[in-house]
Amino acid sequence: MVFLFALSFNVMPLSIPRGQTVLTDSKRPNPRYPQLLSPSPMIRMNSAGESVVVVTGKAPSSLTMAPEEVLEFTAARFSRTISAPSAVAFAQQPFRPAGPVGPNGNVQFPDLTIGNVLVSESGTPYVSLEHTFDGAYAGMARWSFFFQDGKWSPMGSLDSDDIANTTVTAVVAGNQLALVEDFERSPDYVSDDAQHGRTDEDTLWIRDAGPPTSIGGGTISAIRNHHFVGYDAHYAPTQPSTPTPVNAFTWTHGKKTELGKGVAWSVNSNGDVVGDDRPSVDMPGRPSVWHRGKKTLLSTAQGSAFGINDRGEIVGDLASGGSFIAAFHDGHASLVMLDQVMTPHGPWHIKHALAIADDGSILALARSASGTETLVMLIPSR
């Protein structure tokens, strides 16, 4: 049996740009499969823990804008030092993605929303935007951008120059990433393939330091050392009352391996995968880790694991409330709630553990004794 080493964590709140609010949206449905509750798509950290990218705005309503508005948000990158983090703000000016615009340059899309943000290992931030549409076809239009040379530049398709209908889902660098292309049809749209028991799907493309490769449907959640992990629910029943099965998978050096029922959220350099074992997108699962394709439960309680580092340290949430850290080695795991290892114990409640860096630092959403929810870094003191 594995026992967690003696550890405790100091809480380091992350300061955001003046006048802005972190748009945590911590349990927003996954943009591809609305039934999937995912780690916050508005907060990301690279594996070294040196760069954190979050979306900030004037109010939580900034996630969605009216047709006459310009999407205004700030992507703030935190460069962490031993003493304190410093924030570097990106694109503080109004952000105008490609699309129909009005006389004032405003995007003429109702309900334009921020789909997700990502950060590369070098600290480059990425953002994807979404717009739901109706008409002859019902679906979702999407655009992705990355911050380079002081501005947001459009992210093109991997197989064409089209900048529309792309969502970057995971990134390590410009030549190692995954994105979903084509349009997403709304759940109530039944395609011609319905008679075969499935609906229309997007196309998942990956690039692993070489030519892009299409691997069919699904979504990549994380990439590490040529290990791509994600989940696939594209064989979806056409009846809304029927559970939609979901399967976790890995893709490594051109080979796709099914892990079984569940969702994969993160992977380390050794290829260890974490997530949960839910049987369908609508049903809860249990936090799980897959080592060489074999699943080990971290807890029998409902919840999910969202991050794993190269030392086998895992973080996640339990459905009953609160976040955990677990140690995994040789097929065995031990788990402790993060609230129990805070220094000092008591002033903070760790609400959501979002990611863990290789040095053991944890990015989390915490609630202070006054009830304020704050983005924090938990620094291990061993």
The residue that leads in pLDDT, 280 or 77, is 280
Q: What is the pLDDT at residue 305? A: 96
The C-alpha atoms of residue 146 and residue 370 are separated, in whole angstroms, by: 37
**CB-based contact 287:274 (threshold 8 Å):** yes
Of 77-81, 104-108, 175-179, 208-212, least confident by mean pLDDT is 104-108
354 lies in some domain: yes
Question: Tell me, what DSSP letter sits at residue 107?
Answer: B
- Residue 170's CATH number: 2.130.10
Per-residue pLDDT tens over the stretch 55-110:
776 544 434 444 444 455 666 777 776 566 676 766 554 455 444 444 444 444 55
In a domain? residue 3? no
What does the block give as tokens for 94? 């109004």
What are the tens digits of pLDDT across the range 16-57?
A: 767 667 766 555 555 455 556 666 788 889 998 888 888 776
User: Using CA of residue 236, residue 240, residue 241, residue 246, what is the dihedral sign?
Assistant: positive
The verdict on residue 134 lying in a domain is yes
Q: Cβ distance 265 to 222 under 8 Å?
A: yes
Instruction: Say if 273 falls within a structural domain.
Output: yes
Is 2 a member of any domain? Answer: no
Give CA separation, 318 vs 92, 293, 301, 377, in Å: 36, 23, 7, 19
**Is residue 346 in some structural domain?**
yes
Q: Has residue 331 been placed in a domain?
A: yes
Is 95 a domain residue? yes
Integer Cα distance of 306 and 289 in angstroms:
10
The residue segments making up the domain with residue 291 are 9-380
Separation of alpha carbons 44 and 50, rounded Å: 11
Distance CA 114, CA 99 (A): 15
User: What's the total number of domains in the chain?
Assistant: 1
